[in-house]
Amino acid sequence: MRRITCDIHIHARPEQVWDVLTDFARFHEWNPFLVEAEGRPEPGTRLRLRFRLPDSGKEMVFTPTVLTREEHRVLRWRGRFGVKGIFDGLHSFELTPVDGGTHVEQMETFTGVLVPFTGSVITQTDAGFRRLNEALKERVESLAAAKDGG
């Protein structure tokens, strides 16, 4: 098992962060890691996500299943490479109101027999999470500023 975690503070309400995070149709406009997303953030549905690994530019498509949606708080999905137990990823975004803004924690727990052999992919994924979080912060804060009149 291997876990990566990345967090960031965004100067906007959780509702504003949630709206950007779950607007999959617009990911291509701002998201440098999950460059394309299709589907609905509803438990039991499958998403189609295309991600781009930082530095290498390598892209992969996966179709995780949404497990949890707690409005303005938690979005969680599970993706698998092949069958269960080969290379599984449990991904989540958790939003917590803090100091008039939102603490966003993005996490993924990787399990399966291939995990010990995927170090560089997991390291690049960690870098991708950081870029996603920074882009999310920039997108949400710029939209919030525009809505509030600058």
User: Whole-model pTM?
Assistant: 0.94
* φ, ψ of residue 75 in degrees (nearest 5): -130, 125
Which is nearest to 21 in space by CA: 137, 149, 146, 150?
A: 137
Coil, helix or strand at residue 128? helix
* H-helix or E-strand spanning residue 146: helix 119-147
Running along the chain, 150 residues long, what does each successive block of 10 average in pLDDT? 97 98 97 97 98 89 97 97 88 97 97 86 93 98 84
* H-helix or E-strand spanning residue 78: strand 74-81
Would you state the structure tokens that stand for residue 150, as one six-digit string? 């600058």
Strand partners, 89: 79, 110
